[in-house]
A and B are shown apart, each in its own frame.
Chain A
Amino acid sequence: MTAIGSKTTPTLSRPPGAPVYLDYQATTPCDPRVVEAMLPWFTEKFGNPHSRNHRYGWEAEEAVEKAREQIADIIAADSKEIIFTSGATESNNLALKGVAHFYKEKKDHIITVVTEHKCVLDTCRHLEQEGFSVTYLPVKADGLIDLGELEAAITDRTVIVSVMAVNNEIGVIQPLAEIGALCRRKGAFFHTDCAQAVGKIPLDVNAMNIDLMSISGHKFYGPKGIGALYVRRRPRIRLVPMINGGGQERGMRSGTLPTPLCVGIGEACAIAKAEMAEESERLKGLQHRLLGGLRQRLPEIYVNGDLENRIPGNLNISFAFVEGEGLMMGVKDLAVSSGSACTSASLEPSYVLRALGVDVEMAHTSLRFGLGRFTTSEDIEFAIDHIVEAVEHLRSMSPLWDMHLEGVDLKSIKWAEH
């Protein structure tokens, strides 16, 4: 077993023939150290952490409390402020609905951003149907919000502002500390969906004035099915629970805690905290190499979203004149995702890219590359060659590429939209 913080991060072997995994924003494999920490809690240490009358319960309780501390530790919170949930979707639902419902007599306005994850946007739509009013802030071309627009949107009716820390499609980092300071000054709670941020960037709930934070285990090498919600105690934030029952998690989220999953997310936090700085540097190198390698060999490629304020494990690139889903099929030895959303029933391209003002044509040509702990420089070299080959092949059979080479302005053509 590799120790936390040692220079030798474990490697994960890939089954023969399996594609190179470059979709770390979708999910991550469990770190083998996380799995090892979890295993005893499935079998010999199977107790219910809420059993107060025997050793099985006590040791399980001790394990979940240690995990709670590990989670609190990575965001500079107190462990009493951490509630276990099933994941970031539940955390986002609980934060928004819980706060909105508790304070509804006094305040009924919510502010969020158009590029939020669907689970935040859908929750807000739901609250609108209940009678709350919601402001959906736009983003600038770099994917970041305008603080002036946020300030102007906050009123004395605003109960909560929800802004994600890191976007899942384009990896851009919102200015959390500035948003937090603004919310605190204006008297609105600040909730941030940190599913893509925990373990990737330093977070400090006090320095950043964060009141509620959603966390997901499987985005940073922990198990799926576990997450957490940070809920500030000073000043105290109150929530109406969504799940009622035995009153676990300070009454905010009833249900028996899944000890192995709690241990897993805790261990994932401990590893991330110890290795984040080094890992971040390594990933920055890989990100730089991937983009550089592609730019060197392919004209007409464009990075979507700000490149500076971005986690190093993400690149979102439009390959002009090549449709994204067709390209994904061409890079079949890579596991990536596309903003073309050609597979979705709506056939609409990514709403996140559209919100940046990316042309719908260019949104159709985008791929998202997610790099992570087990991505090697060999993987990146392989990816560059594979992508270049596929893009060149598909451009050679793209009528739009021919028109581009002939100097035809595609916007001047009257297309028959279907």
Chain B
Amino acid sequence: MAYSDKVIDHYEHPRNVGALDKEDAAVGTGLVGAPACGDVMKLQIKVSAEGIIEDAKFKTFGCGSAIASSSLVTEWVKGKTLDEAATIKNTDIAHELALPPVKIHCSVLAEDAIKAAIADYKKKSGKDDSAAAE
């Protein structure tokens, strides 16, 4: 199967690989997927006092499309408010990376990772309005 140029670019030059201190109250961590399914994404966001995502990091176990999807969303969430970040849809990710149908689940996982990271941040900071949590 041939990968799109954008998938290859993110795979070969992943953006924002790394980890943030998960004990930091300003950091939300989302860990989604399962080793048995062949992909696990860990997405972390660091939220400023103003509620802006000022940093994002990821680590992913998965195929090229899973790595590219998580790399892409770290770029997209930076500078966004939590509400704005929560509006990122898997279809946007799949479209941007030109994912084939068999790889759509990678974009779904990336969307889940954002939502999980936001929910974790809200829970830790006591701002859990349960709207974004799932």
Chain A contacts to B: CB under 8 angstroms: 321-326, 329-330, 340, 342-345, 347, 349, 359-361, 364, 396-402, 410, 415-418
Contacts and interface: CB of A to CB of B under 8 A. Distances in A.
A323 B61 contact: yes
A396 B61 CA distance: 10
Interface string B71-104: 0000000000000000000000000000000100
Interface string B49-88: 0000000001111111011000000000000000000000
A397 B60 contact: yes
B34 A400 contact: no
A360 B75 CA distance: 32
Contact of A326 (B31, B67, B108, B112): B67
A416 B34 contact: yes
B41 interface: yes
A342 B1 CA distance: 11
A326 B40 contact: no
Contacts of B3: 329
B29 to A, nearest CB: 10
Contact of B63 (A329, A400, A402, A418): A329
Given A347-B105, A418-B105, A418-B109, A410 B17 contact: no
Contact of B11 (A329, A399, A401): A329
9 contacts: A325-B63, A325-B64, A398-B59, A399-B31, A400-B40, A415-B35, A418-B37, A418-B105, A418-B108
Interface of B: 1, 3, 8, 11, 14, 17, 19, 31-42, 58-64, 66-67, 102, 105, 108-109, 112
B60 A398 contact: yes
A364 B66 CA distance: 14
Contact of A417 (B17, B36, B42): B36
A351 to B, nearest CB: 15
Does more than half of chain A's interface fall in helix, strand or loop, or is it mixed?
loop
Contacts of A415: 33-37, 40
A347 to B, nearest CB: 7
Nearest to A418: B37
A347 B42 CA distance: 21
Nearest to B39: A323
* Most chain B Cβ neighbours within 10 Å, of A321, A323, A343, A347: A323
A261 B47 CA distance: 67
A364 B38 contact: yes
* Most chain A Cβ neighbours within 10 Å, of B3, B38, B60: B38
A342 B35 CA distance: 12
B69 to A, nearest CB: 12
Contacts of A402: 19, 59
A172 to B, nearest CB: 24
Contacts of A326: 11, 61-64, 66-67
Contacts of A322: 61
